[in-house]
Amino acid sequence: MKYDIQIWFFIVFFPLIPIVFRTLMAIDVSKIFKKNSVREIRLLFMFTSIIIAFLVSEAFMRFLERLVSFFGY
């Protein structure tokens, strides 16, 4: 059962990374950084999107584990 939940984690985690990245790209942070620092902004967004995707996936997995343990499967 634990193996199934780990598979679901990766099924949720990897598609979330580009979704979160595209969402973060909509935020205008160019006022915070120097001009022509597009690479740094993208790098920040990439790491932030991985962190957010991990947290959302982890929350989903914990919810799924609680749901499975509640129904006794």
- Per residue in 5-64, pLDDT (tens digit) is 788 889 999 999 999 999 999 998 888 888 888 899 999 999 999 999 999 999 999 998
Quick count: other Cβ atoms within 10 Å of Cβ 16?
Answer: 19
Judge whether 5 and 64 are in contact, CB under 8 Å. yes
Q: Residue 67's pLDDT band (boundaries 50, 70, 90)?
A: confident
Pull the structure tokens for residue 42: 């993208």
- At 1 the pLDDT is 62
- At 72 the pLDDT is 78
How far is it, in rounded angstroms, from Cα 24 to Cα 13? 16
For 47-71, b/e burial (b = at least 16 CB within 10 A) is eebeebbeeebeeebeeeeeeeeee
Higher pLDDT, 55 or 73: 55
